[in-house]
Amino acid sequence: MSGAKRSYQEIGKALKAMLSSGNFPVGSRLPPERDIAAQFSVSRAVIREALIMLELENLVDVRKGSGVYVINLPDNVKQATQQNSDDIGPFEMLQARQLLESNIAAFAATQLVKSDIAELRQALEQERSALESGQTNYDGDELFHTLIAKATQNSLLEDMVQDLWRRRRDSAMWQKLHTHISNQDYRRAWLSDHNKILQALQRRDPQGARQAMWQHLENVKQKLMELSDLDDPSFDGYLFESVPVENQDP
C-alpha cells in the first residue's frame, strides 16, 4: 500500500497535534466544524471524517447537537485504538461511487436485457419489503447497485462496484458515522431515487441513467452529512460539485 495519507488522515494528524499542544485540554469543546474547515481550507466532509478518526482513537466524544469534546490527549493514551490505515472516509467513498457508478449506469442503459430489468425490479421489491418490516440491513440497496454493474456485461466493472460495497461493510468509519444517525426514515427516499434510475434504464437512456445515479448519490451524501451534523441542524454548504459540467442541461 502507498505511504500517502488520505485527506482526513492528514487533518486528523493536525488536530491531534493541536490536542498535544495543550490548546484543547480534556473536557474542552473543539471549535465548530465550519471553523475548523476554514482554518485548514478543506471541506466540512473532510473535517467530519477526521473527527470520526479521532473518535475511533478514543480522543474525542461526539455529542449530537452539542459538539465534539476532548476526552483524552494523544500523549496520555498509551495505545489508542488502532485504525485501519486503508479505511476510506465515508464521504470520500460516496464521491468515488458517484463518479464510477453514474458512468456505469449510463453504460448499462446501452447493454441491459429484459432479464436485467426483472432482477432490478426484484431488488427494489426486496428493499421496499425490508424497510416496511423495519429491517436495517442494506441488502436490497447493495443488490440494486451491483445488478446495474452486472447489466454492463463487464465483469471488471461489476467487481469494482462489489469491492466498494465490501469496503463499506468493512469500514469502521462508515459504521461510526451511522452511530450518530438514529432515524432510518430517510432511506425511503432512496427507493424513489432507485425507481428513477430504473426508469431511465428501461428507456435505454444513458444520459438520464447517468444523471439519475449521480443525483441519487448526491442525495445520499447530503442527507448523511445533514443527519450527522454536530453543530447546526441547518446544513449550509455543498460537499462537492453537485452536477458535473457534462451532466448539466445546455
Taking only the tens place, the pLDDT of each residue in 161-181 is: 999 999 999 999 999 988 877
Res 242 pLDDT > 90: no
pLDDT at 78: 56
HSE-up of residue 165 (Cα within 13 Å, Cβ side): 19
Query: Of residues 228 and 170, which shows the higher confidence score?
Result: 170
Q: By the 8 A CB rule, do 127 and 141 touch? A: yes
Query: What would the grid cell of residue 124 be?
Result: 427494489
Res 4 pLDDT > 70: no
What distances in angstroms separate CA 14 from CA 20, 132, 203, one per listed residue?
10, 44, 50
Q: By the 8 A CB rule, do 165 and 139 touch? A: no
pLDDT at 157: 97
Residues in the chain: 250
Lowest mean per-residue pLDDT among 14-18, 94-98, 236-240: 236-240
Helices (H) and strands (E) in the chain, counts: 10, 2
